[in-house]
């Protein structure tokens, strides 16, 4: 049985960083031992537990990323797309396993994950919910079984303050559909449709973003045939879902060999 896994949260004062802190309370397999924020953060020096509303944890928020990562086995990154590449490089330099749930990242960050994975275990997913990983597997299987006669459309909705659109999860589900089709290179993503969109092509996968209210994340994949329609939907009820998945992934990565991992690897691992 694994021992206690010490973890650091990068982006500790953000919504997800604080949610992970709260979700870690009471767990016997993982402890938050370090907390990192960007330079100049007004939260520097504050106790993470008090900021999260769960009482004193004796974990001060700092902006020294390298020093924080040197003290733990796993880093859980919910910082920002702009910081992701730096976090990946720092984790590789300190030999710290990396779980990243940041969305909207660029090609440089993706390349940094690949480089880091030569030295450390890396798991990046735009959605760390176990349910979303299962949803993606269902989508891939359904598209493969139904074939090209079924059109694929994806509709996602998030709260009004979500900056990126479409969501990383919607694009992740689109990728699962492409894998199911067996021809990802030939597929075309249509991000919304305007009046001049023209007729839908057979290779097209439509992805549509809706924003409003306080929705944590709803995603529906529609498989539309000539005579029936199948809808595969995942709805998140709270951010705790994502935080619990991040912690589960952190425990999983703690004793893994260097390389790239997926949430499906976490789900299939024996306890």
Domains and CATH numbers, the chain: 5-128+239-268 (3.40.50.720), 130-235 (3.30.360.10)
Of 195 and 93, the structure prediction assigns the larger pLDDT to 93
Q: Which of 43, 44, 119, 158 is catalytic?
A: 158
CB distance 49 to 90 below 8 Å: no
Q: What is the pLDDT of residues 164-211, one digit of tens each?
A: 899 989 999 999 999 999 876 656 889 998 888 888 888 899 999 999
Is 227 in a helix, a strand, or coil? coil
Tell me how far apart the alpha carbons of residues 51 and 71 are, in angstroms, rounded to a whole number: 21
Q: DSSP secondary-structure letter at 4?
A: P
Count, residues in the chain? 271
Tell me the two tokens of residue 62. 């700092």
Tokens 């769960």 belong to: 54
Letter string b/e over residues 80-98, b meaning 16 or more CB atoms within 10 A of that residue's CB: beebbbbbbbbbbebebbb
The reported pLDDT for the residue numbered 196 is 83
pTM of the model: 0.87
Cis peptide before 166 (omega within 30 of 0): yes
Q: Which residues, 6+ apart, have CB-to-CB distance to 153 below 8 Å?
A: 205, 206, 207, 208, 221, 222, 224
Q: Which of 44, 119, 162, 262 is catalytic?
A: 162
Q: Which residues, 6+ apart, have CB-to-CB distance to 225 below 8 Å?
A: 146, 149, 150, 151
In percent, how much of the chain has pLDDT > 70? 97
Tell me how far apart the alpha carbons of residues 104 and 258 are, in angstroms, rounded to a whole number: 24
The reported pLDDT for the residue numbered 16 is 93
Does 158 participate in catalysis according to the annotation? yes
Q: What is the pLDDT of residues 174-183, one digit of tens each?
A: 999 999 998 7
The reported pLDDT for the residue numbered 2 is 64
Tokens 């330099």 belong to: 93
Over residues 13-24, the mean pLDDT reads 95
The reported pLDDT for the residue numbered 20 is 97
Tell me how far apart the alpha carbons of residues 168 and 138 are, in angstroms, rounded to a whole number: 18
Q: Which helix (H) or strand (E) holds 219?
A: strand 218-224
The reported pLDDT for the residue numbered 1 is 46
């Amino acid at each position: 049985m694994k021992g206690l896994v010490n973890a650091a949260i990068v982006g500790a004062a953000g919504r997800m960083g604080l949610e992970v802190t709260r979700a870690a309370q009471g767990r016997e397999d993982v402890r938050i031992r370090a907390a990192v924020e960007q330079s100049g953060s007004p939260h520097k020096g504050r106790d993470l537990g008090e900021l999260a509303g769960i009482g004193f944890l004796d974990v001060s928020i700092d902006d020294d990323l390298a020093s924080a990562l040197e003290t733990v086995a796993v880093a859980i990154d919910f910082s920002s797309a702009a910081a992701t590449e730096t976090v990946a490089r720092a984790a590789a330099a300190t030999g710290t396993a990396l779980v990243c749930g940041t969305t909207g990242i660029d090609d440089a960050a993706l390349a940094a994950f690949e480089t880091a994975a030569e030295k450390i275990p890396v798991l990046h997913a735009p959605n760390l919910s176990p349910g979303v990983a299962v949803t993606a597997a269902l989508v891939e299987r359904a598209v493969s079984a139904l074939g090209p006669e079924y059109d694929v459309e994806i509709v996602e909705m998030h709260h009004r303050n979500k900056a990126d659109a479409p969501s990383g999860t919607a694009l992740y589900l689109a990728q699962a559909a492409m894998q199911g089709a067996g021809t990802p290179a030939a597929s075309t993503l249509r991000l919304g449709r305007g009046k001049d969109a023209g007729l839908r092509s057979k290779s097209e996968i439509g992805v549509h973003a809706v924003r409003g209210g306080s929705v944590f994340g709803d995603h529906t994949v529609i498989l539309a045939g000539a005579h029936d329609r199948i809808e595969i939907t995942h709805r998140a009820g709270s951010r705790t879902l994502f935080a619990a998945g991040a912690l589960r992934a952190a425990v999983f990565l703690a004793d893994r060999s260097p390389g790239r991992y997926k949430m499906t690897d976490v789900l299939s691992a024996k306890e």
